[in-house]
Structure 1
Amino acid sequence: MPTEDPATIDPSPPVNWQRNLMVVWIGCFLTGAAFSLVMPFLPLYVEQLGITGHRELNLWSGLVFSITFLFSALASPFWGGLADRRGRKLMLLRSALGMAIIMVLMGLAQNIWQFLGLRAMLGVLGGFVPNANALIATQVPRNRSGWALGTLSTGAVSGALLGPLIGGFLADRYGLRPVFFITASVLFICFLLTWYAVKEQFTRVHKRDMLSGRQVFASLKKPKLVLGLFITTMIIQVATGSIAPILTLYVREISNNIENLAFISGFIASVPGFAALLSAPRLGKLGDRIGPERILIAMLIFSILVLIPMAFVQNPWQLAVLRFLLGVADGALLPAVQTLLIYNCSNQVAGRIFSYNQSFRDIGNVSGPLLGSSVAATLGFRAVFVVTAIVVLFNAIYSYWFLARKVHEPPSEE
């Protein structure tokens, strides 16, 4: 759990944002753990629901991964507008409780169509972490926002680090369905914690007084730069998501069908989170000195150099080492984008800008699993890593193109 930095304390804040930061950090940790509990073995659950055959299993695994993010991208603008009018805490409560209910129903699913529909509903009702970012971003003094949002990001990463290990162990010991019920319990605890501990002084805004999307972009000094950052976020998630639906099946292929497959897959899935947790603060501090745009491009290039060898590994431990190195880069990419967004928008539109960025991230989360599962179904698992490396190469060239002449300008204190 994060500790308070004395240098960040505002003598007269409207709410105790340091307390809120700690509470929503715990909420993000629980949410990250809850989601990652079930993610490593979703392809195995799809198989348990009756989908067999290499091609069908790959395609359905990609679908159940991606449909959640598709519906999240569609629902995010609605929830974002409602949050601006009614408050962010309400959105946190809605998300935590809604996801808890859906997880229970997932554990009771009897066929693949029920499960697919519930994964879609999870996308509609989800969004705890983005709303937590919006809550803190609107409460923290602007010159402290980088530290606060960086600290908050470690919550979900820490939860995602432990979740696959615990989920894999529970799945091997008790079966797949009970893990969904455990996940629902964790999310309900998150709901109760938010209900009792998060404080928000919110002034209701009428819909007629809100800026339109066009007005939001008109208020930006560098709208093309911000749009470029949205696209970069999307491509980062495409590259990350392309591996997710095939990871467990790839581990099975290179490990000769070991007995504790769910646990080993969970361990390999968690390794990048551990690396990101270690690298994010250090690379973030380096980015403050040399510019986040340089960190962004350098880590994209590093990702390419790590992805290509993944296509040639011969055992799970080689894959784990490379996944750790990939996590080092992942820990810097999205925080670098978010820092650049903070530098290039005002407080008045910061919440909307982050909401739009989340929508682009969801679009990437939709496209990535579909890309990975489609490539795996036609060319095999190993080809997925080569194709992903090509996608990251494009992102590196694109990012360099629109950031090369931009000067690093830290935010002024407000």
Structure 2
Amino acid sequence: MPAEHASQHPLQSLRDFLHEESAGGIVLMAAAALSLIVANSPLAAPYFEVLHRHVGGLSVLHWINDGLMALFFLLVGLEIKREMLEGQLASWSQRILPGIAALGGMIVPALLYFLFARGDVAALRGWAIPMATDIAFALGVLAVLGSRVPPSLKVFLAVLAIIDDLGAIIVIALFYTEQLSFVALAGAGAVLAVLAILNRCGVTRLSIYLTLGVVLWWLVLKSGIHATLAGVMLALTIPLRTNGAASRTDAAAPLHRLEHGLHHWVAFLIIPLFGFANAGVSFAGMSVQTVLQPVPLGIIAGLFVGKQLGVLGCAWLAIASGRAQLPVQASWRQMHGVALLCGIGFTMSLFIGGLAFGDGGELMRETKLGVLAASLLSAVVGIVLLRAAAPRATT
């Protein structure tokens, strides 16, 4: 590894992260579009048959959602830990604006969904679906706008989405856990304790952590807690420093090496594969009445309307009260545009929908319809507003 790369500044790491997430978001859009085409073509039957074929005790779809997505959650956990300790969330002054905006962007959409679904007990299980923001998709849209959006807003959106992911992880752990197996849960706790001890003892060999991480994943899968949360648990134990390192920003640290190694696999394979496997919804037999059901209406209202109100409203309160400042070179119209992009729920929304309603059935079909419609609407209106809000070039 070159010396200049090993001493890479956290801001450069964030720039690389934004670039990779943006490119990954564009690939994700293509995968989602392809899944819709396949699901509404003569290939629909083999597409769904392959996804539900069992291999090694789990369906292909479960291996993607419970297995590969654990690596996505591992990466999310690494990003949260790094940002909290040395990045854009390292101090309260840096956390307050995206933190308050993210909180509003989770609470208001959930409340709006509840209003639409309150008469349907089954539909109410999906209350957390519109809380999520898809960081890859949203940053991919910003990448299309290029220099029309100031860098400070891209950082704001990235940090807000990371906090949003943390909120989604907590919600999944608390509200979407099946019946617990306390034996498996105790085993998972023991493995997690060993991982924490290894960290405290200065062990930095990633192979040891990853091997125990596989055992942790299997035990969490058997415990009733969603298996992907094992990725977050493992991430919190990965060391952020090397033996004798003078700075936590050393790129040779296990956390930095693992994060860097996972980025491309997650951005360009795992997330697009998840999108291709989960976004496919057949429009056969659908009508306007389908869209007017509580689940799709609640999701569209939550993601498209609720995210705007929650993110922009809470950001305004934080700035008006003097607790935070508007991002550098950003206008309120641009903030509104970014708040709209937060309504692109996609990956995490579909993931929570699967936890709420299962992989099949009419409610999951309605969930896919609502998430796709709300995400597309948020992206299109957000792009239009951000293009209109861009400062005009002077001659």
Scaled by the length of structure 1, what TM-score is found?
A: 0.29
Q: Which has the higher helix share?
A: 1
